[in-house]
Chains A and B, each alone.
Chain A
Amino acid sequence: MTTVQSAVVVKPTRPWLAKPSQRLQSVGVFLLALAISYGVVAVTPMKGKLAYAAIFFIAFTALDYLLSYFTLGKSAAKDVVARGFIVSGMVIVTAPILSILVTVLLRGYKGIHASMFTTDMRASSMNDPVASGGLMHALIGTFLMVAIALIISVPLGILTALYLTEIRGRFTKPIAFLVQAMSGVPSIVAGLFILSALIYTVAHAYSGIMGSLALSILMIPTIARTSEEVLLLIPPDLREAGVALGGTQWRTVALVVVPAARSGLVTAMILGIARVAGETAPLLLVAGGSDQNNLNPFHGPMASLPYYVWKAYSFGSIESVRRAWAGILVLLVIVLVLFTAARFLSARKGK
């Protein structure tokens, strides 16, 4: 046993992996838990899918605990239970997201056709067959309003974050508090604010820019808070090194701190976009909504994807509901593409 022939070629092994017998035990526990949940539902008055899931979870955890307790000991058994809770937490959180994605895909793809990206709804009704008309006007509206909101919010949000992390002036605490409170503002309040402060008093008309302003109110706190957290992660040594090289504070921030935080700041931007891209209520109040292309954000009502979805869905016919699902799918794909692109861009050069 103890002497090993030197000529033997040693094969790489993974002794820490489960052996077949252990796997069999795990499968046994799984099946037993399944049987118990089936039996309990059959016998007791607890019924429904949720009952199966809950009883299965309890039974599986208990059996797994007992198995580990007798094979490995108490602390290993506790570890197994903790892992069980963490895994089920992950499942509970991701299941709805996957469910949403799958539902949107399955229901939305039927309404997708090439001409929907090149036509608007001025000549068609929501109740017409899906192939007539399209959501180009909504795409243009969402794109323009979110882009303008981004142009307004990114500088303001990042400058606010820089004030909170780099200048640390006397107002740091109240501003941090305000930003936090602002990020919880219901979106309709942002719409009502623009409506009463700008539309009733100055503009007297719906327009895309009003929508952008309302979206900015929602976007700035998100960008400011995320940027603040990212900037706080930049080690203070870098700031000291920049200043010790004869840089002013402003040049150190611009040349050292912000570039070091670049990928995080891009993430802040994405989160800002994600926060507002699906907003419906404020846009309904201040951008109106329309059925035709409007390329001028400063004049005339403007449609948006969420508005298109809301309007199509409210018609209630088979064709219009199909349009609504297609609209949701387009919105989802746009947000996902933006997300991936920004991730890719920020990961490419930043370290």
Chain B
Amino acid sequence: MTNPEESEKDMDTVTPSSLASVASGTGKKRSPGTEALGVGLEARGIHAWFEQKHVLSDISLDFWSGTVTALIGPSGCGKSTFIRTLNRMHEFIPGAAMAGQVLLDGKDIYESGTDVTKIRLKVGMVFQKPNPFPSMTIAENVLAGLKLAQLKVENKDDLLEECLERAGLWSEVKDRLSAYGGSLSGGQQQRLCIARSLAVRPQVLLMDEPCSALDPGSTLRIEETISQLSSTMTIIIVTHNMQQAARVSDYTAFFLSDGGPGQMVEVGPTGEIFSRPKDKRTENYVTGRFG
């Protein structure tokens, strides 16, 4: 399909400098000086297995603070598995194994002696299916992270309003904060889950197909939310929706599995991935010729 040398090159570790140099070109909404925020999260040579099955091979990727990175690729190429290695949710699946390093603030989150609950506080996650806690009200849902992680906060009401505001839900629920989370619509539930993740003030937010169960209107609201959040945090979003990747992300990484473990074919500024991808396979995928 493509010549091996080219794909070999694409498989190489993407260093911060190489990413920055390509990014300075056509990044969708990059503002000058974003690089000053530095690298938010670095994945180094990530492999993943389920039992004996090798599902992800040698992914190295840097995520810059204040940017949105979209992971695209057909189903089963390991995108979700990859982001679950970034906040140590991968180990929750029986039979899971991994190799490689994930550096948060320069420290490997898999280093022994690391408090995994602290890692998950810093690297929050929004799931594919909205999953508000059914026994809690809207307000309790937003503040659930504080209770779960036993964090103290000066003014809970301010935090509640701030998180719901940032998740774009405040105006819709401010009069019924004591209603149950399950009484909201699917799109509102997902924004509630985003607000819930924000309440523990993560540096990085992982979103695993957050809009796949939502209607276009709710999707739009969540995309607006992502754009607003991206100025202050690192966002990594898995999506099957090409337009969504183009709309919300600064960088895009294309994952693909040729029957074996999933690999990263190409990464670069979103504009370049969609307009002039280097790899033929990326071009075929983003133009809808397969997948």
Q: Do A and B come from one complex?
A: yes
Assuming A248-B117, A351-B180, is B148 touching A242 (CB within 8 A)?
Answer: yes
Q: Could you tell me if A244 and B89 are in contact, using CB atoms closer than 8 angstroms? A: yes
Q: Could you tell me if B92 and A255 are in contact, using CB atoms closer than 8 angstroms? A: no
Kindly state whether residue A251 has any CB partner on chain B within 8 Å: yes
Kindly state whether residue B237 has any CB partner on chain A within 8 Å: no
Assuming A243-B89, A247-B148, A256-B148, is B120 touching A262 (CB within 8 A)?
Answer: no
CB distance from A114 to the nearest CB of B (A): 42
CB distance from B141 to the nearest CB of A (A): 10
CB distance from A255 to the nearest CB of B (A): 6
Q: Could you tell me if A237 and B131 are in contact, using CB atoms closer than 8 angstroms? A: yes
Question: Given the complex of chains A and B, what is the CA–CA distance between A245 and B201 in angstroms?
Answer: 10
Question: Given the complex of chains A and B, what is the CA–CA distance between A237 and B127 in angstroms?
Answer: 8
Q: Could you tell me if B127 and A240 are in contact, using CB atoms closer than 8 angstroms? A: yes
Note all chain B residues with C-beta closer than 8 A to A237.
127, 129, 131
Kindly state whether residue A241 has any CB partner on chain B within 8 Å: yes
Q: Which of A243, A244, A246, A260 contacts B133 (CB 8 A)?
A: A260
Q: Which of B118, B135, B197 contacts A245 (CB 8 A)?
A: B197
Note all chain A residues with C-beta closer than 8 A to B150.
251
Question: Given the complex of chains A and B, what is the CA–CA distance between A292 and B190 in angstroms?
Answer: 62
Kindly state whether residue B262 has any CB partner on chain A within 8 Å: no
Q: Could you tell me if B131 and A241 are in contact, using CB atoms closer than 8 angstroms? A: yes
Q: Which of A235, A241, A245, A262 contacts B149 (CB 8 A)?
A: A245
- Chain A, Cβ-Cβ closest to B197: A245
Question: Given the complex of chains A and B, what is the CA–CA distance between A350 and B127 in angstroms?
Answer: 24
Kindly state whether residue A252 has any CB partner on chain B within 8 Å: yes
Number of A-B residue pairs at CB separation under 8 A: 78
Question: Given the complex of chains A and B, what is the CA–CA distance between A322 and B121 in angstroms?
Answer: 67
Count of interface residues, chain A, beta-carbon cutoff 8 Å: 21
Q: Which of B117, B135, B200 contacts A259 (CB 8 A)?
A: B135
- Chain B, Cβ-Cβ closest to A248: B117
Note all chain A residues with C-beta closer than 8 A to B182.
351
Q: Could you tell me if A255 and B148 are in contact, using CB atoms closer than 8 angstroms? A: yes
Bits for B91-135, please: 1 = Cβ < 8 Å to A, else 0. 010000000000000000000000001101100110101010111
Q: Could you tell me if B92 and A240 are in contact, using CB atoms closer than 8 angstroms? A: yes
Q: Could you tell me if B135 and A246 are in contact, using CB atoms closer than 8 angstroms? A: no
Q: Could you tell me if B135 and A244 are in contact, using CB atoms closer than 8 angstroms? A: no
Q: Which of A243, A246, A262, A350 contacts B118 (CB 8 A)?
A: A246
Kindly state whether residue A341 has any CB partner on chain B within 8 Å: no
Question: Given the complex of chains A and B, what is the CA–CA distance between A9 and B139 in angstroms?
Answer: 48
Note all chain B residues with C-beta closer than 8 A to A251.
147-150
Kindly state whether residue B87 has any CB partner on chain A within 8 Å: yes
Interface positions of A from 224 to 255, Cβ below 8 Å from B: 235, 237-238, 240-248, 251-252, 255
Question: Given the complex of chains A and B, what is the CA–CA distance between A248 and B115 in angstroms?
Answer: 10
Note all chain A residues with C-beta closer than 8 A to B127.
237, 240-241, 244
Q: Which of A246, A259, A260, A350 contacts B120 (CB 8 A)?
A: A246
Q: Could you tell me if A246 and B131 are in contact, using CB atoms closer than 8 angstroms? A: no
CB distance from A86 to the nearest CB of B (A): 33
Question: Given the complex of chains A and B, what is the CA–CA distance between A257 and B153 in angstroms?
Answer: 24
Q: Could you tell me if B133 and A256 are in contact, using CB atoms closer than 8 angstroms? A: yes
Q: Could you tell me if A350 and B144 are in contact, using CB atoms closer than 8 angstroms? A: no
Q: Could you tell me if B120 and A241 are in contact, using CB atoms closer than 8 angstroms? A: no
CB distance from A59 to the nearest CB of B (A): 50
Interface positions of B from 49 to 97, Cβ below 8 Å from A: 87, 89, 92
Q: Could you tell me if A255 and B144 are in contact, using CB atoms closer than 8 angstroms? A: yes
Q: Could you tell me if B134 and A351 are in contact, using CB atoms closer than 8 angstroms? A: yes
Q: Could you tell me if B133 and A241 are in contact, using CB atoms closer than 8 angstroms? A: yes
Interface positions of B from 146 to 204, Cβ below 8 Å from A: 147-150, 180, 182, 193, 196-197, 200
Question: Given the complex of chains A and B, what is the CA–CA distance between A259 and B180 in angstroms?
Answer: 13
Note all chain A residues with C-beta closer than 8 A to B214.
none
Given contacts A237-B127, A246-B121, 12 further A-B contacts (CB under 8 A): A237-B129, A237-B131, A238-B131, A240-B127, A241-B133, A241-B196, A243-B120, A244-B89, A244-B125, A245-B200, A251-B149, A351-B134
- Which 6 residue pairs are nearest across A and B when measured between Cβ atoms? A247-B148, A259-B135, A246-B149, A246-B121, A245-B145, A237-B131
**25 A–B contact pairs at CB < 8 A?**
A235-B131, A237-B129, A238-B131, A242-B133, A243-B92, A243-B117, A243-B120, A244-B120, A244-B197, A245-B121, A245-B144, A245-B149, A245-B197, A246-B118, A251-B147, A251-B148, A251-B149, A255-B148, A259-B133, A259-B135, A259-B136, A260-B133, A260-B134, A262-B135, A351-B182
Instruction: Give chain B's interface residues, CB within 8 Å of chain A.
Output: 87, 89, 92, 117-118, 120-121, 124-125, 127, 129, 131, 133-136, 144-145, 147-150, 180, 182, 193, 196-197, 200
